[in-house]
Structure 1
Amino acid sequence: MAEKDADKRPRKVDEMVPPILVKAIFGIMLASLLMVAYARITDKPLAAMPDLDAPIAQEREIVIVGSMTGAATVYDTQGNVIHDYASDEGGFVAGIWRVLQRERGKYDVPMDLPVRLVRYESGRLSLFDDQTGWRAELVGFGTDNTAAFALLLEEEGQE
């Protein structure tokens, strides 16, 4: 009877993670830590950021006013309404307004100052807040959200 119970117990060797795998995981963690430490100590520039010296195709200063409901209104620097987004269509623009609100609150910058919307010759869209140094590469937010800001540049020619 004792022999039957011994056969039913799982063997400890089968449950262990192979030592080579554990060593490899710690090696990867150590290598990552060393790369990050090297980059921080030597003040390496952020290489993943797009080139700011790329040729600009179109640029426009806009003022974004939003609400927590998702509604947003975008004005030009003269106070003319460029586009008015209802609460069911302005979610991304209102989200950018919330980010601007937070960033400008850090530096005590008024919300009614404009931001720059830039389209590069490559088609990339960027949003810059020259007051705080904040910027957003809009291509990373999907085609629908990028199109919401591209529309603001297209409406410049229609005024």
Structure 2
Amino acid sequence: MSEEFTNERFPVSALYAAGALIAIALVTVGGIRLGVLPALETAPESRMRRTVAVTVSRDFRFEDRADGALVVFDMANNQIAQVYEPGSNTGFIRGVMRGLMRERRLHEVPRTGPVTVTQWVDGALTLEDKSTGRILELGSFGQTNRAAFAQLLAPYLPKPAGAPTGPA
């Protein structure tokens, strides 16, 4: 079987095409890094350019309790906003916070600072860690994961016009 391919050569045009593709990629990335080519606009830059308003924004602090619960504090009044008991479905929130705490450790900033969760008029939901400058677009993780953080803002959302203000 190996005798069938002994006289065949690899197509040189394929090597040239692969080399050209690699060269184009390197020139493009280098051009963007050096500022010769424009970089794509990020979501925060797009919102700033379009002057998208904030619907609601709150600062929260996340702490692990000794029993394994995750406690979320509203920094405006230092009150508990949410408690996720051990075993509750909080994997996404815990994963995001673990990543942010790791980044804070790498930047050598305090791990106890707040993170800001913001609901924008255009429907976007962001999580910002001002101590590291990190901004996460929570919608990019899917609706279920986005909803995990959106529920933290639910009590603070403005009531629609004509909605009852008291208990039902």
TM band (smaller chain): 0.7 to 0.9
Distance 1:135 1:44, change over 3 A: farther
Q: How many aligned positions are there?
A: 150
Partner of 1:119: 119
What 5-or-longer segments of structure 2 have no aligned partner? 160-168
Q: Give the deviation of 1:117 after TM superposition.
A: 0.6
Q: Give the deviation of 1:153 after TM superposition.
A: 0.7
Instruction: Check the 8 A contact 2:138/2:145 in 1, yes or no.
Output: yes
Distance 1:58 1:13, change over 3 A: farther
What 5-or-longer segments of structure 1 have no aligned partner? 1-6
Partner of 1:59: 57
Distance 1:102 1:109, change over 3 A: same
For normalisation by structure 2, the TM-score amounts to 0.76
Match of 1:9, as an amino acid? E
Deviations 1:16-73 (A, max 9, x none): 5422222111111100001111111227665241024232122111112248x98522
Cα RMSD of the aligned pairs, angstroms, is: 2.7
Between the aligned partners of 1:8 and 1:109, the Cα distance in structure 2 is 62
Q: Give the deviation of 1:107 after TM superposition.
A: 3.0
Alignment of 1:90-101 (within 5 A): 90-101=90-101
Does residue 11 (structure 1) correspond to residue 10 (structure 2)? The answer is no
Does residue 31 (structure 1) correspond to residue 29 (structure 2)? The answer is no
Match of 2:58, as an amino acid? R
Kindly report structure 1 stretches of 4+ aligned residues shifted beyond 6 Å: none
Between the aligned partners of 1:57 and 1:43, the Cα distance in structure 2 is 37
Instruction: Check the 8 A contact 1:125/1:150 in 2, yes or no.
Output: yes
Distance 1:70 1:89, change over 3 A: farther
Match of 2:53, as an amino acid? P
